Amino acid sequence: MAEMKKLMRALAGETMETPPAWMMRQAGRYLPEYKATRAEAGDFLSLCYNPDLAAEVTLQPIRRFGFDAAILFADILLVPQALGADLWFVTGEGPRLSTITDRAGFDALKPADAVHETLSPIYETVKILSRELPSDVALIGFAGAPWTVATYMTAGRGTPDQAPAHALKDGNRPVFDALMDRITEATIEYLSAQIDAGAEVVKLFDSWAGSLKGDDFTTYALEPTRKIIAALKARHPNTPVIAFPREAGEAYVGFAKATGADCVALDQSVDAGWAAKNVQVDGCVQGNLAPGHMVTGGQPLIDEVRRIKAAFSGGPHVFNLGHGITPDADPDNVALMLETLRA
């Protein structure tokens, strides 16, 4: 019988002397080989929808660094596109979407299961990866969590405070709730299909969860995550789910128990020592090195890797950044991070 992959062991609750490691956005703009492949694809969306090239960029950081997991190369905004939103990327500025601000906009969306038609190339990428990844490297699929996806669908772009989503939520609750439900259903379909294609773990990225406070956090961050995990566990009982309610702060406490997540990813705004006492007590945690260390490197990077590793050494831990690696990161610092972690 093949030995269980290191990431899967951590997600199952095993404490290891050296935790498994991977990095959010590990396939991407900080790597010269990624830039070359993206140029070959023509543009970002063409890269996402080209299974051979998307698999290639997913494999690049595995070849270069030997991470314990690969994360599918795609984008959280492919789901709104599959639901009928217009999506395009502005060079140097990022994604743009057509917006939903009223009932008519919502009514024009496609049903949740329509996502499969548009997103079939993504499932093909997963199939290629499940064949081509080294046998000890786990494959992670992912989607944006409903609140975060809704913030883009209402604003048409990333915003500093998610004000358009809050405005629709507070001003037209029935339409906002209908939108959240549609995204939730589509996300279940999308992640389930990724698992069918070969993803061994899936992750929900709630990048803007931190702007939800009090009851709104429960209603729009915790509850949709719980629904998605429950539906996925009903279909795929043995597939672990990582939840990432970024900048949840105190609301990280109890999040795993409340949602059924097998692991909670932590951003760098919470202290590892605090998280070990308050969050890791419920199971596996992931994180939480500040991505800036991938730019600056040096002794502070080494010290911080050691500190985080030590803080979480009493329980199951997946070493990662507190958010995605940035385009200005130095690949040599990624190598230094892994060397320090595994020393």
Q: Which amino acids are annotated catalytic?
A: 25, 29, 38, 75, 152
Instruction: Please tell me the distance from the alpha carbon of residue 253 to that of residue 255, in angstroms, as a whole number.
Output: 6
User: What's the CA gap between 37 and 269, in Å, rounded?
Assistant: 33
- The amino acid sitting at 131 is R
Residue 161, classed as helix, strand or coil, is coil
Per DSSP, helices labelled H in 208-284 are 215-217, 223-235, 255-259, 272-278
What is the rounded radius of gyration, in angstroms, for the C-alpha atoms of the chain?
19
CA 231 to chain centre: 18
Which residues are registered as beta bridge partners of 289?
321
Whether the CB-CB separation of 276 and 314 falls below 8 Å is answered with yes
Which residues pair with residue 317 across a beta bridge? 285
- Pairwise CA distance, residues 87 & 294, whole Å: 30
Give the number of other CB atoms < 10 A from CB of residue 214. Answer: 8
Beta-carbon contacts of 225 under 8 Å, excluding residues fewer than 6 positions away, are 145, 204, 206, 243, 245, 259, 261
Contact by Cβ (8 Å): 87, 158? no
Measured in whole angstroms, the distance separating CA 170 from the mean position of its chain's CA atoms is 27
Helix (H) or strand (E) holding 95: strand 94-97
**The 317-321 sheet, strands edge to edge:** 69-71, 138-144, 201-206, 241-245, 263-265, 284-289, 317-321
CA–CA separation, 167 vs 318, rounded Å? 36
140 beta partners: 71, 201
